[in-house]
């Protein structure tokens, strides 16, 4: 059989995906969502690592502790601003269509939250069942704690995203009145909190003050997306966001000495993302501006079936990729810990050799995610075939896993 014959089924599948795509589908938005989504596992796999203690247990470690020059890589891989931007755009369009059909806001919101909640419930329930099994198989308790932390680590995003989704009707009203400026008060709120946290009166501020930034910090890009979806954010605003966000980003780094990394670094007393600082919003503004400006070009590029088909697949498995990518890494690291120091996997992330070895592991993690996703994808679909008892069992297991993780903190 020739190489052309081998590729024929793939070409037919790609052509079929393209043919089934509605003519009015906004391919650029799907492309942006796929790009932002893939940045999450790539960032966690590349900027996260392990150390292995004398008992063979794995502990979380970050290459940024030693390899500080990797910090600019986090500027590229931190694309949650784009994800919230596209999410706001998609949500307001969905909300508008639901309202036109006569669907109540409460019913619309329940549907959106169910789509977010099912995969989270699935991954936490499976891990609750896995923990005792892995313990019996000899996996150290410290490794199980590390695994649980990694699994829960990205799930905070789902809770925050659900919260901002619930505010979609109010964001839509603000967008219709103020356009892109509706996001400005959110930026101002985060700036004030940062001034109090890091300014001359920082010593007198309570430690919980940064939590005030959680809602406005992540709602900022979402509100921009809603304004975009309401056609109140055009290319002129895109240029303002790109230039203004880039200028503010540089100012905060060079003058106000914000941490260069967009993700937390162990041992540092300040972090940009948990909770979000003004630097996160500056980056989100610049990324949002670039997304607005590149939308037409990206949409034209994704008219090519070979490029469009992977975007469709990624979007269909969005929550599966998000919820299970840490499990995919652990699927390689936990067995690897029984073989001692495996370069790039269980060795400390302290030098360039580790980075080179970790890059070689990325395809392995991706393959594991594909295999896991083949089975875990069912959690994204409505659980119409599940009995009430099975749903209750899944909820009970997920609750147990949550309590186990909280107890470990």
Residue 6 has pLDDT above 80, yes or no: no
N-terminal to C-terminal alpha carbon distance within the chain: 57
Residue 178 pLDDT > 60, yes or no?
yes
pLDDT tens digit string along 93-139?
999 999 999 999 999 999 999 999 999 999 999 999 999 999 999 99
Q: Over 90: is that where the pLDDT of 380 sits?
A: no
Q: Is the pLDDT of residue 322 over 70?
A: yes
What's the pLDDT at 5? 64
Q: What is the pTM of this model?
A: 0.93
CB 66 within 8 A of CB 349: yes
- pLDDT tens, residue by residue, 270-292: 889 888 999 999 999 999 999 99
Residue pLDDT, tens place only, 133-158: 999 999 999 999 999 999 998 888 89
pLDDT-based confidence at residue 194 (cuts at 50, 70, 90): very high
Check residues 269 and 60 and name the one with the higher pLDDT: 60
Average pLDDT over the chain, rounded to whole? 92
pLDDT class of 239 with cuts at 50, 70, 90: very high
Which pLDDT does position 1 carry in this prediction? Answer: 46
Mean pLDDT of 318-347: 95
């Amino acid at each position: 059989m020739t190489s052309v014959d081998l590729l024929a089924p793939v070409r037919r599948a790609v052509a079929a995906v393209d043919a089934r795509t509605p003519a009015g589908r906004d391919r650029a938005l799907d492309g942006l969502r796929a790009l932002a989504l893939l940045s999450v596992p790539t960032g966690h796999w590349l900027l996260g690592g392990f150390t292995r203690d004398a008992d063979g247990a794995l502990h979380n470690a970050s290459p940024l502790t030693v390899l500080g020059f990797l910090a600019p890589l986090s500027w590229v891989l931190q694309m949650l601003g784009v994800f919230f931007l596209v999410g706001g755009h998609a949500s307001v369009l969905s909300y508008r269509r639901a309202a036109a059909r006569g669907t109540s806001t409460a019913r619309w919101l329940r549907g959106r939250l169910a789509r977010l909640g099912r995969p989270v419930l699935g991954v936490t329930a499976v891990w609750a069942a896995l923990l005792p099994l892995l313990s019996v198989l000899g996996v150290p308790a410290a490794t199980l704690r590390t695994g649980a932390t990694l699994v829960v680590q990205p799930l905070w995003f789902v809770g925050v995203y659900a919260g901002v989704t619930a505010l979609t009707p109010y964001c839509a009203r603000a967008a219709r009145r103020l356009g892109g400026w509706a996001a400005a008060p959110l930026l101002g709120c985060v700036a004030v909190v940062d001034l109090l946290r890091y300014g001359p009166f920082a010593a007198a501020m309570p430690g919980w003050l940064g939590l005030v930034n959680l809602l406005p910090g992540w709602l900022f890009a979402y509100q921009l997306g809603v304004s975009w979806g309401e056609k109140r954010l055009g290319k002129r605003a895109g240029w303002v966001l790109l230039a203004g966000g880039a200028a503010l980003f540089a100012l905060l780094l060079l003058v106000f000495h914000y941490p260069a990394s967009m993700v937390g670094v162990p041992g540092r007393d300040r972090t940009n993302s948990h909770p979000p600082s003004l630097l996160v919003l500056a980056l989100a503004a610049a990324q949002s501006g670039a997304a607005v400006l590149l939308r037409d070009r990206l949409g034209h590029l994704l008219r090519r079936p070979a490029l469009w088909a992977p975007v469709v697949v990624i979007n269909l498995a969005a929550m599966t990729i998000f919820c299970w990518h840490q499990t995919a890494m652990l699927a390689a690291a936990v067995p690897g810990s029984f073989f001692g120091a495996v370069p790039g996997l269980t060795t400390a992330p302290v030098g360039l050799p580790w980075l080179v070895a970790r890059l070689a592991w990325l395809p392995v993690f991706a393959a594991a995610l594909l295999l896991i996703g083949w089975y875990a994808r069912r959690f994204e679909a409505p659980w119409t075939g599940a009995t009430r008892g099975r749903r209750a069992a899944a909820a009970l297991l997920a609750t147990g896993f949550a309590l186990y993780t909280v107890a470990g903190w």
